[in-house]
Structure 1
């Protein structure tokens, strides 16, 4: 494979993207779970908001996995691999609506940190497609975290 990025750099980038994929999948699953289980006075707005968020997140999973493949490496795709690679812990039980929002803020921010951590490696390798992917993901995660945080302000 000769796309102008060394194998060692492609491997480092694929490893970073694999961590991003793991966090993105955990975030997707958490958001979908909360969509199904939210209750209370904010039900309608949170139910709809969570659906928009998990749908966006679901579509992002393919983009991240396909970039890993384009770099010449297998994409992780099992819960076991995601648990090993990710930084987001599963939530036990069904939290109250405000706690769901707090947990999603933390998960959005964690996913943004995972993406941001990869930027120096991607920049050094001159990998513009991955940089575009990371920039897009950061924009979405930071904006979503802000919108969720706004729900918690009094």
Structure 2
């Protein structure tokens, strides 16, 4: 009978997940995850805006912008998953609803530009949006770096390179 009881106890203990011990304290992990959640909200809002403009761009720059926007939103979509998975690896739930993204994002939603939207206004908004994503990434990067969270620092550094490049390319169209 003792072996059955011990076996059951071991089985119960084995099914319980151990506490997270990745070398970053719980408080730091929470602060980084909160920052990454804000970054995810900004990135998702920018993704939606980019996809919207891909669908609705018109005018003499249609072909160039339609293709550019598609390239950007496709790349952004893949990156969203990496950010959400990093939040999960730190032990927290990633935001995943429009309500959460709206609450967390620094990028204002500007629904439906309608038929009056000029391609220049779309490009301007995406330039500003990419720069907002960069500012959020930099703020979180500082927190992650101070906590020794190299994977988050690496992820944010890669995203900064992409969004700075997008901002430069978009701004160049307006000069």
TM-score by length of 1: 0.98
* Equivalent position of 1:76 in the other structure: 95
Runs of at least 5 residues in structure 1 that lack an aligned partner in the other structure: none
For residues 99-152 of structure 1, what are the alpha-carbon distances to aligned partners after superposition, in whole Å with 9 as ceiling and x for unaligned?
000000000000000000112211111010000001001000001100000000
Number of aligned positions between the proteins: 153
Within the alignment, does 1:105 sit opposite 2:105 as a pair?
A: no
Deviation (angstroms), 1:78? 0.3
Within the alignment, does 1:3 sit opposite 2:25 as a pair?
A: no
* Equivalent position of 1:56 in the other structure: 75
Runs of at least 5 residues in structure 2 that lack an aligned partner in the other structure: 1-19
Using the alignment, how far apart are the partners of 2:124 and 2:40 within structure 1? 21
Using the alignment, how far apart are the partners of 1:134 and 1:75 within structure 2? 16
Deviation (angstroms), 1:92? 3.1
* Equivalent position of 2:159 in the other structure: 137
Rg: which structure is higher? 2
Bigger relative contact order (CA 8 A; separation at least 6) = 1
RMSD: 0.6
* Equivalent position of 1:127 in the other structure: 149
* Equivalent position of 2:136 in the other structure: 114
More off after superposition, 120-129 vs 97-106: 120-129
